[in-house]
Structure 1
């Protein structure tokens, strides 16, 4: 091998290792998100490694611990679902705004429910996850209250009504209706609509 070829070979190897490392790290994150979506809320490192196709040791080569892995995964997931938090149309009369609000929240639930359940569990142990959850809840709270601002403002107990609206439209409440109560999507929609009408009209 000529000196120049040898030099090229030596300098290429670290790049190749970095690329493999980046791919493996991404695979580990993707595996955790897939497990969350499948309902495995607290998978072990061995389980994540199995799905990712890497060794268990590799998981801790890229992340300090499972909490660190979860925090990285939630950042990635946020970038994927950010658009579903946005784009709520606040125009129209009450019935139109009500329909748009419920449509928006049910679409969002479909996208985030699996990871959301995992976040609830992880937030107890991870300040990073807890902060991320609170930030997203704040976004949804502002949307919910803003969508029905005229109706809330007209109520004699506006603060209490705002809290009811916020809770009714929370991802956690929708998850309860769908998962714990076993309501279909159409019955969930009807329940949300009825609750909001009772609170706001």
Structure 2
């Protein structure tokens, strides 16, 4: 067999493997988005229309699959993570920030739950979580530059009251509607900031 034919066969196998992997990522993204926190290889194989052995072969490197899922999600949520400084009073900017955060947390909710369930077993998810936390703080300060003048304790409290963990508790543990969860988060944030920022 000539080198050219061998190279073509190798390229063909690599292409098929990449297509299979993409189908697996698509299936995982869809299943998790529909609320399946820990999709099994069998479920993924059925959704991807692939043999279970193919799925197991790719599942051997779960961290790289998690990374591809995270990249897919990040591309999907950029509209909620603005980094320019918006106009308006502190109260107006806080209201808009919390409105967008509510939409953002609702969008990522199934993926956040899945990530929390898998984080202790995944180096990638652990590092991703650690890098996302300061990004949310940066996002807060971009919306409310006045926060640069508040104490660390106030900033810590505001970060917590506007966090995905707080939203998860309101929506899942307390079983609040989106509207009531948003109202509760706003009241909590205003309580933290009262007397520390201008209106």
Interval containing the TM-score (normalised by the shorter chain): 0.7 to 0.9
- Report the equivalent of 2:57: 61
Provide the C-alpha distance between the structure 1 equivalents of 2:177 and 2:7, rounded to a whole number of angstroms.
58
Deviation for aligned residue 1:147? 2.9
Larger Rg belongs to:
1
- Identify unmatched segments of 5+ residues in structure 2: 195-199
The answer (yes or no) to whether the contact 2:63–2:124 under 8 Å persists in 1 is: no
Length, aligned pairs only: 193
Q: CA RMSD in A?
A: 2.6
Aligned to 1:41, the other structure's residue is in SS state coil
Which of 70, 76, 91 is the equivalent residue of 1:74? 70
Provide the C-alpha distance between the structure 1 equivalents of 2:49 and 2:77, rounded to a whole number of angstroms.
25
Provide the C-alpha distance between the structure 2 equivalents of 1:152 and 1:87, rounded to a whole number of angstroms.
16
For residues 104-156 of structure 1, what are the alpha-carbon distances to aligned partners after superposition, in whole Å with 9 as ceiling and x for unaligned?
Answer: 211211221111111112221111111112212211122124433425625xx
* 1:105 maps onto 2:101 in alignment: yes
Aligned to 2:98, the other structure's residue is in SS state helix
Deviation for aligned residue 1:12? 5.8
TM-score, L = length of structure 2: 0.83
TM-score, L = length of structure 1: 0.82
Most deviating of 84-93 and 188-197: 84-93
- Report the equivalent of 2:81: 85
Provide the C-alpha distance between the structure 2 equivalents of 1:151 and 1:59, rounded to a whole number of angstroms.
48
Which of 175, 182, 198 is the equivalent residue of 2:191? 198
Provide the C-alpha distance between the structure 1 equivalents of 2:84 and 2:104, rounded to a whole number of angstroms.
11
The answer (yes or no) to whether the contact 1:39–1:114 under 8 Å persists in 2 is: yes
Could you list the structure 1 runs, at least 4 aligned residues long, displaced by more than 6 angstroms after superposition.
8-11
- Report the equivalent of 2:159: 166
Q: 1:89 to 1:99 in 2, by over 3 A?
A: farther
* 1:133 maps onto 2:129 in alignment: yes
Higher relative contact order (CA 8 A, sep 6+): 2
- Identify unmatched segments of 5+ residues in structure 1: 1-7
- Report the equivalent of 1:180: 173
